Amino acid sequence: EPEVTQTPSHQVTQMGQEVILRCVPISNHLYFYWYRQILGQKVEFLVSFYNNEISEKSEIFDDQFSVERPDGSNFTLKIRSTKLEDSAMYFCASKRGRTSHQETQYFGPGTRLLVL
């Protein structure tokens, strides 16, 4: 069964450094998402991406964040200058379309980011 993959599984970085989190969505999916989950808390929406542009973003997704789909398979989240509060599990998700049977979002295994 196709699945969303993410790399790396863990990332440790110093405050102020840039990090890039990578995702390979399911191949025939058209909508892509990043969510994050701070330890012990709920999953929070960051951004959605469709047709090579951001379609919606949350207030968490400030100027330090950016997303890119540099080729036909990868979907990346860049944090330009990490802060301690960026430490969280970051999940990538994708879905096929917008009709009701295509709405299921499939989540990747996540990247655990620790900012020191």
Partner 1 sequence: GQQVMQIPQYQHVQEGEDFTTYCNSSTTLSNIQWYKQRPGGHPVFLIQLVKSGEVKKQKRLTFQFGEAKKNSSLHITATQTTDVGTYFCAGLGGTSYGKLTFGQGTILTVHP
Of 27, 21, 20, whose CA–CA distance to 4 is shortest?
27
Considering the rule CB under 8 A, would residue 66 count as an interface residue with partner 1?
A: no
How far is C-alpha 6 from the geometric centre of its chain's CA atoms? 9
For partner 1, the closer of residues 14 and 62 by Cβ is: 62
Strands 5-7 and 31-37: unpaired
Query: How many residues bind partner 1, per CB under 8 A?
Result: 26
Q: Decide if 55 contacts 116 (C-beta within 8 A).
A: no
Shortest distance (Å) from residue 114 CB to partner 1:
15
Find the binding residues for partner 1 in span 74-113 (CB under 8 A): 89, 91, 95, 98, 100, 103-110
Considering the rule CB under 8 A, would residue 61 count as an interface residue with partner 1?
A: no
Binds partner 1 by CB under 8 A, chosen from 5, 13, 22, 45: 45
SS3 101: helix
For partner 1, the closer of residues 43 and 114 by Cβ is: 43
Rg (C-alpha) for the chain, rounded Å, is 14
